[in-house]
A and B are shown apart, each in its own frame.
Chain A
Amino acid sequence: MIFEARGLTKRYGGLTAVSGVDMELAQGDLVGLIGPNGAGKTTCFNLITGADAPTSGTIRFKGEDVTRARDFQMARKGVARTFQNIRLWKEMDVLDNVRAVCRAGEPCGFAAAALRLPRFRRVERAVTEKATSLLQRLGLGDVLAESPGDLPYGDQRRLEIARALALDPDLLLLDEPAAGMNPTEKARLMETVRDLRREFDLTILLIDHDMKFVMGICERIYVLDHGERIAHGTPAEIRCDKKVIEAYLGSEC
């Protein structure tokens, strides 16, 4: 198992947002996390990425107990994410958005940069090459110098993915990657996600509201309701699950 959560619980004051959730991801999995609004999906993401510390429970990532690891440490260990409401740095150009995150070549301290040592130049070149090739891979090779705010919505989503990939992640969390896309774009996104998983050896966990999208792309699905895991299985199993239909699908169908 590359990722393992046991009894994950988060309370805010008297409110229990996530309660005793277990989750397992194997290398190369593409798993969905669904549930009605307020079911605790985003809290789960926050716990996994270290943005929030769980009240109880444990998280293991690549065999290491990372329950108390902070967010930037999780990112460096290989957990990257995108955001539901896009959070790019709009005052930097597209290339710099990726370069700010990118690690490549040997470590290079600030002092080396200040003194413009040759090492700094080498690292700088490696980082730029890596960032550029990532952006090209995601079809953003032509807009390197543009401001992210000026890009179409779909491109911004892909830029977020490129930025997340710059961390060399093992586990990629996609927070509603298909939100606001039309069916064609969604279809293309599905393709892209599958391809990226293969190319970059990724394990992917995604949240989305669009059941069709999730069912179409994920191999397994976890269902949350009121902070608790109410179901787990293949899309076919989930579709027939009584609890799920009651809690979630029932209300829509």
Chain B
Amino acid sequence: MLDYLLNGLALGAIFAFIALGYTMVYGIIKLINFAHGEFFMFGAFLGFFVLRDLGVERLPLPQPLPILLSYVAALTAASLGAGALAVVTERIAYRPVRRAGRIAALITAVCVSLILQNLAIKAWGAKPQAYPQPREWIDTDDLAGAAPANLYAVKRVETTGGEVVENEVRVVEAGAALDDATRARLRAEGHERVYRQVPLDRGWTRGFVLLALLLWAPVLWFLVKRTRMGKAMRAVSEDSDAARLMGIDINRVIAWTFFLGAFVAGVGGVAYCVSYGKVEPLTGFLPGMKAFIAAVIGGIGSIPGAILGGLVLGTAESLIPYALREGLGWEAAFAWKDAIAFALLILILVFRPTGILGRAVREKV
């Protein structure tokens, strides 16, 4: 039961991350930005390239600092990149139709989503690619079961001065079994230690997502509630004409809103793909849909609502099938989690159309 709850919270935290962007953009221009999942995907890909080509996949051995730095670099690239894509998208696709009505904007959003997916397919190929895996290195003699490619031999090399000691690292050649003979040979060559590389427990990545959510949510809350830009966002959200006449540059405010939402989605994209192991141009689609549901469940337009909605949806997707399976003996319950998510959406729309934390919109008379 606890396992299932944690699984649900971990997934829900990711939904919450994406839902934040949906809710902020909806809050300000009443647009359901269906391309938001693609910003998430774009961030995930940028993180993928950083980790694969500059980061963890390139590092041969346990070097905690560079590895940490490469994750920081991946998250930075992902969030800034996704933010930039969102700003550009808003400028060239959404701004021209802003005054053309909500249906026009909605159709534009769906089209932008498809265009971005297809551009990603053109650029990076359609097939799912394995995401760089967080690993740890175990200095061990107990090497049974480790695939040969994951063994690293370390040799201590003294530099000419005789003072500095460096580790020379090399991968044990693929296919070499680590039997006694190999080990003796490695030792004879001066390799003192052999490391086994093992995947980091998933608890770490999931913990990171929850932690990031806990850190980010108050920051966003603060930005929107306390800063001038945040107040401008709320002003534009409520009456953008009045805001303009009060000296607020609504284009800039809207661009910032898109940026912030996508920035957060970029972080979510990397975390999601690290956690679930692959990235592809359709990566953003289902999480994007779920996050939209989460935003509606929490009350679209409300930041705490997006977070609550994400966590509620993730938990429901995990615990409701669990209950159906344990209680009613329905074996296939877990395969129906998407249906459960959509059913939850419908129930919310029927019984509480404004969502859990949403306020009824005051009709302008």
Contacts and interface: CB of A to CB of B under 8 A. Distances in A.
> Are A and B in direct contact (Cβ within 8 Å)?
yes
Interface of A: 49, 51, 70-72, 75-76, 80-81, 83, 87-92, 96, 99-103, 108, 110, 113-114, 116, 120, 124, 127, 149, 163-164, 167
B289 interface: no
Nearest to B229: A110
A100 B239 contact: no
Contact of B245 (A81, A91, A99, A113): A81
A91 B234 contact: yes
Interface in B233-255: 234-235, 237-239, 241-250
Give the bracket for the number of chain B residues in contact with chain A: 20 to 34
Given A101-B247, A110-B227, A89 B232 contact: no
A100 B226 contact: no
B234 A108 contact: no
Contact of A76 (B219, B228, B243, B247): B247
Contacts of A76: 247
B223 interface: yes
B146 to A, nearest CB: 44
B228 A108 contact: yes
B246 A167 contact: yes
A127 B247 CA distance: 15
Nearest to A70: B244
B231 interface: yes
B362 interface: yes
A100 B234 contact: yes
Contacts of A96: 231, 234
B40 interface: no
Given A100-B231, A114-B219, A127-B228, A75 B247 contact: yes
A71 B244 contact: yes
B256 A110 contact: yes
Contacts of A127: 228
B227 A100 contact: no
Contacts of A164: 246
Q: Find the residue from B223, B247, B248 having the highest chain A CB count within 10 A.
A: B247
Given A72-B248, A89-B234, A83 B242 contact: yes
A183 B270 CA distance: 65
27 contacts: A49-B245, A71-B245, A72-B248, A72-B249, A72-B250, A81-B245, A83-B242, A89-B242, A90-B238, A91-B234, A92-B235, A92-B238, A96-B231, A96-B234, A100-B228, A100-B232, A100-B234, A100-B235, A101-B248, A102-B228, A108-B228, A110-B223, A110-B227, A113-B229, A114-B219, A124-B226, A163-B246
